[in-house]
Chain A
């Protein structure tokens, strides 16, 4: 199996704003109904660390519903979560492209939620 596309999160900058969740739902007209999101925000903290600093991170995690916006990308539109993220911390691309981005900076996570 060879996975072509993925979703990269720079979780240094995710503010937990819910935009990706809602943008995702709205990009899938048939997903009406509670709980249907292709991506969900996980939260760690706020927690005090031994050095007195605070850990407080959000991590948007694609769910099993995520289809990497197959319909949108076929029309030439970027995935809805990526386009709408106000923190510009989501990236869509090939695994090759995204691996390069991962190598550029810490606190990045690469997801492979879907393969055609």
Chain B
């Protein structure tokens, strides 16, 4: 049998397949995820019928996860938003009047000009959701159209998704580092024709990589490497599929990863397993790191982390002895109030073992062709005075040191609540649904956003966020409806429009339309293609092989040249000298940037702010450690919940997990609806027994709402009923401002009964007083009534 269809179409970007037109391009959420996989779109009469993986694309090599395969179910979903609408009833009533785009732009222009006049541009805030292909466009709108410095993620507490790790990496190494799975080479796993080597050991730490595909890392690359011989170490509170195939599974207590990493550093140094040559030549502050780690004996870490001391020693030895070894880390390292120190500790592991920019280790990666737009795009258009008003100025690492180009989301929330340092009058949200997830304290975000004068929500579907707050709802185009281009590390990717849904407008076009009304001088292009051409001409270096969108569409993706050992070759520093792009030219195990701003220059462990150790009194009532936010294959955060889709068919209900023993102690059974509760609030999910969990640990899903149910308040698509973020605090960060304790709280669990289910959380939040409302303020962290448990 000759299966050469795709081979025959190699090099073509569009062809006819019976009644279908096939277009080779890439996809970037929404809907989808962080990754931008290569796809073949099958369209018929202008309608998207089917999506396949692109076998030619080196990134995903023809494979896809289920979310891109089912994309047409969302693109053609009859419940999608198709037209601009303005609010017809009160906020929360879900009554709308369809308007034209011109009317929508008139309203926006009028409101913005009034705010400029009466309050100043800083009173406007813009938000996006994570992983979307609008992380250049919406920041540019904030800076270049509205003139505000206040762009941030949608109430993501402590910027705790990649930002803490990136701040640590940028300060320690002067660059970002990622696990080397050959993703920087178009030839991929070809060890003969690239310098790539398969890692001997891969450590998967703080994310279930095959499910989450986070940070532009296609998780199944790890499986590809396992098939080529990589051995695994997994750090996770639950036994993931990868953990079951690992030589060591370190079942860490949520939020204590820094202690574990320090103990591993200690073992590696005290057993003399570190890379002397690399440390001597390329690291700064080794003695200080060794001293900081010395107290972390495996026994001490075992007690703190609930992991066996022998396993810590074994894993540390296995990692240090492997050559090369790569660490693929994830979100959970960010989601503590000890986030930057945790990232410092893990970064130190790959530094002292010399797994730095080596084939199969952790490599230094930059964005393809120096296209560095992202959250800071257009920021330089603001005056220094306006830049100085960016919310979160009290956190110098985020503001003055420049390790964050967004405003501090908790500080935005506090400004809305208090009017300090100035009032917030307008909030713009593009594909973010912060009361479903991302907002750490969902009820608190709900109360705050209700008080904002003018709210624009721009999204794919009508969401609880749109119903509750929006004055204007603007329909967003999905990936196959957009001309766009994007890079995150490598390669640079093109997205080609193949279909149009009603009056949906792409982020690129919407921002251009708004910008032309307000500051046309900053928008010297006519439409999306014009903007892309502008970026390809002015925002990339001269190695990019295409300069117009049309040329880019012929190629679909482009890989820049990649060099290993760049520090030896003088490829990292502006002065062209060997070394790293840090003040000392070395990897700073003693982080001089942190020291400069008054933070601990070496990694340390801090007990989670709400835990059996830090809050013993609270733990009597809420004895279980709660971690949240593990991904599932079916969903991207709060996306993909629409009724009748394959995602909901395979995963109809919100699930939480506890051990069979912990469940039996409470008389609970598999599948039972239960209340998960703590001092802040409660929500209900269905129990799934997980025998791999510590009896003291509970894992709950995030992002749940029920689009098939009533949208109007008080129900709001049930967004608060199963919302684990009724139990999570906001404005409780690491003293750097980074990190927030999404994944380390306390809770209790009990069965739902008709009696105890009379007041559903959605009613409680929308009609009564929410949760933890008494005394909520800047530090309103839900410890009211339990002052003895307040963390220091």
Residues of A bordering B, CB below 8 Å: 5, 12-13, 15-19, 21-23, 25-26, 29, 34-35, 45-48, 54-56, 58, 73, 75-78, 80, 83-89, 94
* A29–B64 CA distance with the chains assembled, in angstroms: 18
Contact B3 A78, beta carbon cutoff 8 Å: yes
- Given A26-B51, A75-B17, 14 more pairs with CB closer than 8 A: A5-B1, A17-B65, A17-B210, A19-B63, A22-B66, A25-B646, A35-B649, A54-B243, A76-B3, A80-B52, A83-B52, A86-B210, A86-B220, A89-B223
Nearest B residue to A25 via CB reads B646
Q: How far is the CA of A85 from the CA of B224 in the complex (A)?
A: 11
Whole-angstrom distance between the Cβ of A63 and the nearest chain B Cβ: 15
Query: Which of A26, A56, A75, A84 lies in contact with B241, CB distance below 8 A?
Result: A56
Complex contact A54–B244 (CB within 8 A): yes
0/1 interface trace, chain B 298-337, chain A, CB 8 Å (1 if under)? 0000000000000000000000000000000000000000
Residue pair B244, A55 in contact (C-beta under 8 Å)? yes
Which residues between 188 and 233 of chain B lie within 8 Å of chain A, taking CB atoms? 210-211, 218-220, 223-224, 226-227
**B378 sits at the interface (CB 8 A):** no
Q: How many residues of B contact A (CB 8 A)?
A: 46
Q: Tell me the nearest residue of chain B to A45, going by C-beta.
A: B244
Question: B634 in the interface, Cβ–Cβ < 8 Å?
Answer: yes
Q: Which of B3, B211, B249, B690 has the most CB of A within 10 A?
A: B3
Shortest CB-to-CB span from A113 to chain B, Å, is: 16
B69 touches A47 (CB 8 A): no
**B376 within 8 A of partner (CB):** no
CA distance in complex: A29, B72 (Å): 12
A-B contacts at CB below 8 angstroms, number: 106
Q: Decide if A15 touches B6 in the complex (CB within 8 Å).
A: no
A26 to B650, CA, bound (A): 15
B1, A73: Cβ atoms closer than 8 Å? yes
From the candidates A13, A23, A25, A80, name the one contacting B227 in the complex (CB within 8 A): A13
Q: Are B691 and A46 in contact (CB under 8 A)?
A: yes
Whether A21 pairs with B8 at a CB distance below 8 angstroms is: no
- A-B CB proximity, top 10 nearest: A56-B244, A76-B5, A86-B220, A86-B63, A22-B66, A22-B69, A77-B5, A18-B66, A87-B223, A54-B244
Determine the chain A residues whose CB is within 8 A of the CB of B649 once the complex forms. Answer: 34-35
Residues of chain B with a CB closer than 8 A to A19's CB: 63-66, 69
- What string of 1s and 0s marks CB contacts (under 8 Å) between B55-74 and chain A? 10000101111100110100
Given the interface pairs A15-B241, A56-B239, A84-B64, the reply to whether A73 lies near B691 with Cβ below 8 Å is no
| Complex interface: chain B residues within 8 A of A29 (CB) | 49-50
Q: Are B650 and A18 in contact (CB under 8 A)?
A: yes
Chain B residues within an 8 Å CB radius of A78 = 3
Q: Is the CB of B224 within 8 A of A77?
A: no
Partner of B8, one of A76, A83, A84, A89: A76
Contact check: which of A15, A21, A47 meets B691 at CB < 8 Å? A47
The smallest C-beta distance from B463 to any residue of chain A, in angstroms, reads 24
A75-B5, A76-B4 are contacts. A46–B239 as well, Cβ < 8 Å?
Answer: yes
- Inside 8 A of A76's CB, which chain B residues have their CB? 2-5, 8
**CB-CB < 8 A to B6: which residues of A?**
77
Q: Is the CB–CB distance between A18 and B244 below 8 Å?
A: no
The answer, among B1, B50, B72, B226, for a CB contact under 8 Å with A13, is B226
Q: Which of B2, B4, B52, B69 has the most CB of A within 10 A?
A: B69
Q: 23 A-B residue contacts at CB 8 Å?
A: A13-B226, A16-B633, A17-B210, A17-B220, A22-B70, A22-B646, A25-B646, A26-B70, A29-B49, A48-B691, A54-B692, A55-B244, A56-B241, A73-B1, A77-B6, A83-B63, A84-B52, A84-B53, A86-B210, A86-B219, A87-B210, A88-B223, A88-B227
